[in-house]
Amino acid sequence: MKRHLLSVFAITAIGLLLFVARALANPPGFGKTFDEVVKLATKEGNVRIGMGFSDERSMERVMSGFFKKYPKIKVDYSTVNSNNREKVFAELVAGQVDYDVIDVSLEVQTKWRKANLLVGPFDWRTVFPTLANQHISPDGYFAAGAFSFDGVAYNPRLVPSERVPRKWEDCLDSYWRGRFIVDTRPNNILGLYPAWGEAKLLDFAKKLKENQPVWKRGMNDSVVFLASGEAAMVCGISYSPIQRFLDKDPQANVRAALLNEVPAGVNKTMGIAKGTKNPNAALLLAGWLASTEGVNAYDEVGYGSPFVEGTNAAKLIQTSGAKVVFGGWDEAEYRPGITEKITAIWGFRSKK
């Protein structure tokens, strides 16, 4: 009897080990180690990627490091964002695979997985052992190296140094009344939700409105408005549009300031399309973009990771003495409801 129980136990244990091994293994057709992936990717020789950038210059800057490191792999890249993502989705459903790697934003990831359009899950860390935890989705389907992080922007000609906000509540000071911008979409303050909770965030939104901001739609327009001197400060803005603006005009009257808490959200999340003819080149590119090398490339266009030491993002946050508030990979679950409540307080209807 004891021998029988031991045999059952041994078989069960072996079965569990095999199950775990299968769960951790990459899907068929993909290399099991970094060197194997590189070898197979080089043999494939091509990879097509759809990224969430709307401008080719940013894509070129981010991808340049990959070109240099893997010159034998030809990379074709173009834009896949909210303007054409549904078209790409429909084409994949119909069996047309135009991209190997696709930027699938958080709010549609569940839809894409349920439609069985993506390969996965992957054991990312076996192939790319140095990836930060925050760079890999909990389900194993996505990898990200780009992050948005939010604070304020101000015009240094209009705002003395002692008046530059240091914490979010400084936006409520009557000093700014009628002189500061708030985006009608509350994306840049929603990142405070994990730290503040709903009650505090809604109270802050109410008090922002009472301080009579200038309402604007779109961060790029807000930066232009700020630089022209038509407003003194923007409360709630990502770092990336400020950096892009200053790249074009380093003398512009625009500065960024990170506050006591810095909301950081996953951006540019890469999944691999089912039906790809270049699976290993796709995995190599997606993993590279989430690696330190890829993160440093994203850093050049204002999307660096706060979770990788040495990036401009991490240095800025460390210098400001701020606390990072990570939105997590489940932002899409809580953001719509909070967005509705904030826009209702502000007297707007949120765009669904």
* Percentage of the residues of the chain whose pLDDT score is greater than 70: 92
DSSP calls for 186-249? THHHHTTHHHHHHHHHHHHHHHHHHT-PEEES-HHHHHHHHHTTS-SEEEEEEHHHHHHHHHH-
* Reported confidence tier of residue 25, pLDDT bands at 50, 70, 90: low
- pLDDT score recorded for residue 2: 37
Q: pTM for the complete prediction?
A: 0.86
Q: Hey, is 262 helix, strand or coil?
A: strand
DSSP calls for 49-60? EEES-SSHHHHH
Q: What is the pLDDT averaged over residues 244-255? A: 93
CA separation, residue 228 to residues 109, 182, 224, 243, 275 (Å): 39, 16, 6, 16, 49
pLDDT tens string 112-155 = 999 999 999 998 999 999 999 999 999 999 999 999 999 999 99
Distance of CA 290 to the CA centre of its chain: 11
Q: Which CATH number fits domain 149-263+327-346: 3.40.50.720, 3.40.50.300, 3.60.15.10, 3.40.190.10?
A: 3.40.190.10
Q: What is the pLDDT averaged over residues 12-39? A: 65
pLDDT tens string 186-198 = 999 999 999 999 9
Question: Residue 24 above 80 pLDDT?
Answer: no
pLDDT tens string 84-107 = 999 999 999 999 999 999 999 999
CA separation, residue 10 to residues 3, 18, 20, 72, 139 (Å): 10, 12, 15, 48, 29
Rounded CA gap, 121 and 274, in Å? 12
pLDDT tens string 303-312 = 989 999 888 8
Domain ranges of the chain: 30-147+266-299, 149-263+327-346
* Reported confidence tier of residue 29, pLDDT bands at 50, 70, 90: confident
Is residue 111 within 8 A of residue 130, CB to CB? The reply is no
Rounded CA gap, 218 and 75, in Å? 31
Q: Which CATH architecture has domain 30-147+266-299?
A: 3-Layer(aba) Sandwich (3.40)
Angle at 181 between CA 180 and CA 183, to 5 degrees: 160
Question: Residue 23 above 70 pLDDT?
Answer: no
* Reported confidence tier of residue 350, pLDDT bands at 50, 70, 90: low
Rounded CA gap, 310 and 297, in Å? 12
* CA dihedral of 152, 157, 161, 167, whole degrees rounded to 10: -20
Rounded CA gap, 124 and 289, in Å? 12
| Residue whose C-alpha is closest to residue 299's, from 67, 134, 309, 254 | 309
- pLDDT score recorded for residue 11: 38
Question: Residue 242 above 90 pLDDT?
Answer: yes
Question: Residue 10 above 70 pLDDT?
Answer: no
Is residue 233 within 8 A of residue 155, CB to CB? The reply is yes
Helix axes 279-290, 292-299, angle to 10 degrees: 60
